[in-house]
Amino acid sequence: MRNIILRTKSNVRIVRVLHVFVTTMFCILSFFYSSLSYSQNRLREFLPRFDASIKTKYEYAFDTKMSRFSVRNSRMGLAGNIVKPVTYRVQVELSSEGNFEVLDMSANLKLAEGFSVTFGQTSVPVFNSYITTPSTMLFANRAFIGKYIAGSRDIGILANYEFSGTPFPLMLELGIFNGNTINKPLWTDRPSYAARVTLGEMTGLRATGKIYRYPKTTTEDYVIWGADLRYAQERYKIEAEVMNRHNKYDDVDRFSLYVQGGYSFPLKSDGLFKNFTPVMRWDAIGEDLKDKIFDANRLTFGLCFGLTKNPFGSLIRIDYESYIVKRAITEFDRYDEMDSDKLTLELLIIF
């Protein structure tokens, strides 16, 4: 009987030891698994995010009967976190009509909830990305507003505040820049200033108002103002914008506007094209519009064939541009094909 009791006590001790051992191992494994998962999540959080786009095209000018092939854009970018409140953005243009350019070199610091500051070379808060960024444009060529008003990037500091508790999204941006556009960190006693108020988001209804004080040279001292209205859903968008550039030196105004839109229709076949998107734009530009007549009008009709299921993604597009020019603006004198009616075949790859 005594031996049975001893054996029972011994078994109880063994069970307790095993219980402690199993519990300890479970805790260690749980901690190791949690640490591993946390490390993997942290690693994923701080890994750089890569993006790129290639935009190559063929153009035929009807007025001069000339044609050309070109790589209009070839962009590569990196973005990521240094620590959670600090992000960075680097983007280069490998070929902008054959030229290499550094586009973005900036860091963003989140200083408080809804409030952040971007420091470095970045976009001026005046132009919309869907007008100046190749991967988000509806057409092969930019609207007049995005091409003939001012540069879209500069070196400086930009503050961004997103208001909370409002019945609709509201954002305010204020920036100070060198005023020499990109890759020109020149000394100046006349920096440029920009401000923009945005109501809404990229999906749904969105409106902005903006102003840009841009003393470019002694003979080009600009005050630029603009406003735009946009409505977009997954498969369609319509956008309109006006912008005026007043030169304080000679009191000349340059005014431009556009209205554009497109609708993406899905294709159910298993072929190369996943959707097709007809698009249309009217844009105009003029200087000193005392007679209320624009110097140049342009109608653009396009048909885009999507290579992915994502509407407005990688695609092959065909654009036809028709110019009505009453008086050529200065930039049209670069070469005869600038304001010629054109047919464009373009391949846009986004990855």
Per-residue pLDDT tens digits for 111-155: 999 999 999 999 999 999 999 999 999 999 999 999 999 989 999
The answer to whether residues 28 and 167 belong to one domain is: no
The answer to whether residues 311 and 218 belong to one domain is: yes
The answer to whether residues 25 and 90 belong to one domain is: no
Which CATH number belongs to the domain containing residue 303 in this structure? 2.40.160.10
pTM value is 0.83
The answer to whether residues 193 and 267 belong to one domain is: yes
Q: Which amino acid type is present at position 134? A: P
Show the domain range for 33: 1-47
The answer to whether residues 25 and 141 belong to one domain is: no
The answer to whether residues 29 and 95 belong to one domain is: no
Last residue of a domain, one of 47, 69, 85: 47
Q: How many domains does the chain have?
A: 2
Give the Cα separation of 244 and 254 in Å (integer): 6
- Residue 75 pLDDT: 93
> Would you say 238 and 230 are in contact if contact means Cβ atoms under 8 Å apart?
yes
> Would you say 58 and 345 are in contact if contact means Cβ atoms under 8 Å apart?
yes
The answer to whether residues 37 and 139 belong to one domain is: no
- Residue 257 pLDDT: 96
Last residue of a domain, one of 12, 31, 47: 47
The answer to whether residues 76 and 4 belong to one domain is: no
Instruction: Please say if the pLDDT value at position 34 is more than 70.
Output: no
> Would you say 207 and 199 are in contact if contact means Cβ atoms under 8 Å apart?
yes
- Residue 27 pLDDT: 58
Q: Name 50's bridge partners.
A: 78
The answer to whether residues 28 and 74 belong to one domain is: no
The answer to whether residues 229 and 294 belong to one domain is: yes
CB-count exposure of residue 162 (10 Å: 0-12, 13-18, 19+):
middle
- Residue 168 pLDDT: 87
Three-state DSSP class for residue 313: coil
| pLDDT, tens digit, 9 for 90 and up, residues 178-237 | 988 788 888 988 999 999 999 999 999 999 999 999 998 889 999 999 999 999 999 999
